[in-house]
């Protein structure tokens, strides 16, 4: 059971394919769950889902004192906000914090042409990585889309690149061709040159995306003016662990990066209030 009187934060990361939620007791992550981002799910359905998950670790709704949300799906953002107001507002110390370029500008300097266009999750990842490493950074998030986000040693968000994610590529191979099957890439190929269709597809995805990461990292490093060893490459997202063994440039895999960033931003907001 969770001790009474402790600060309890619910961090919500709403992505296109999956939503990840985490519960922090003070600064410690005590529960984390990942499920599909169902755009038809109502606030009441979210309440049933979350109440069941919280009860597994002995947490009651009344123990949650803070909420922070990062979303790239406006419809789901509305449902989650409604759920929070309807079921969790009684004991909140402040209204739920919705991450935007405007309300995190004290935590990072956004140098893109249109800061409001940058996905909330990308900014949260950038802040979390910089707070941990405080150097020139490339953060690669393997989600529905793969995002490359560049952060300077001075905590400036410089921009990045976006390309189709691995799941999209796999779906395209199987649905847009007549004979290529759906494959499982959790077990990688034995070598680059595949001697059957499945092995060739696995090689193309895993070695191919690994080479893409290494190539993009090299170009980004040059453009940022970083010498060898001056750019740290961090990966996160649901498929990061699958690609990491195939990309020599990756330094760290941080599966909890977004939740850690949300926790940091909520703490900063409390200090500023």
> Which one of the listed residues 38, 40, 121, 228 is annotated catalytic?
121
Q: Work out the number of other CB atoms within 10 angstroms of the CB of residue 196.
A: 8
Q: CA dihedral in degrees (21, 26, 31, 33; nearest 10)?
A: 10
Q: If we measure between CA atoms, which residue out of 136, 107, 156, 163 comes closest to residue 220?
A: 136
Q: Work out the number of other CB atoms within 10 angstroms of the CB of residue 111.
A: 12
d(C-alpha 105, C-alpha 164), whole Å: 28
- Per the rule left: phi > 0, alpha: psi between -120 and 50, beta: everything else, 255 is alpha
Q: What is the three-class DSSP state of 177? A: coil
d(C-alpha 151, C-alpha 159), whole Å: 8
44 is catalytic: no
Catalytic residues: 121
């Amino acid at each position: 059971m969770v001790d009474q009187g402790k600060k309890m934060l619910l961090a919500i990361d709403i992505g296109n394919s999956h939503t990840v939620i985490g519960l922090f007791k003070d600064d410690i992550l005590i529960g984390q769950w990942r499920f599909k981002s169902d755009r038809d799910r109502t606030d009441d359905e979210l309440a049933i889902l979350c109440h069941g998950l919280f009860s597994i670790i002995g947490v009651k709704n009344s123990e949650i004192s803070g909420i922070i949300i990062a979303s790239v799906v406006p419809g789901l953002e509305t449902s989650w906000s409604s759920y929070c107001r309807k079921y969790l507002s009684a004991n909140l110390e402040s209204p739920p914090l919705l991450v935007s370029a405007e309300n995190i500008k004290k935590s990072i300097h956004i140098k893109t042409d249109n800061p409001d266009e940058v996905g909330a999750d990308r900014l949260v990842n950038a802040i979390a990585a910089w707070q941990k490493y405080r150097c020139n950074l490339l953060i690669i998030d393997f989600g529905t889309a793969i995002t490359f986000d560049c952060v300077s040693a001075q905590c400036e968000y410089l921009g990045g690149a976006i390309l189709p994610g691995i799941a999209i590529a796999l779906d395209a191979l199987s649905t847009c061709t007549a004979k290529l099957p759906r494959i499982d890439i959790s077990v990688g190929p034995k070598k680059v040159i595949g001697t059957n269709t499945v092995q060739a597809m696995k090689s193309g995805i895993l070695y191919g995306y690994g080479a893409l990461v290494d190539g993009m990292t090299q170009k980004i490093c040059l453009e940022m003016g970083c010498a060898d060893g001056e750019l740290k490459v961090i990966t996160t997202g649901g498929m990061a662990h699958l690609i990491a063994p195939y990309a020599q440039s990756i330094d760290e895999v941080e599966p909890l990066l977004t939740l850690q960033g949300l926790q940091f931003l909520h703490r900063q907001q409390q200090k500023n209030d």
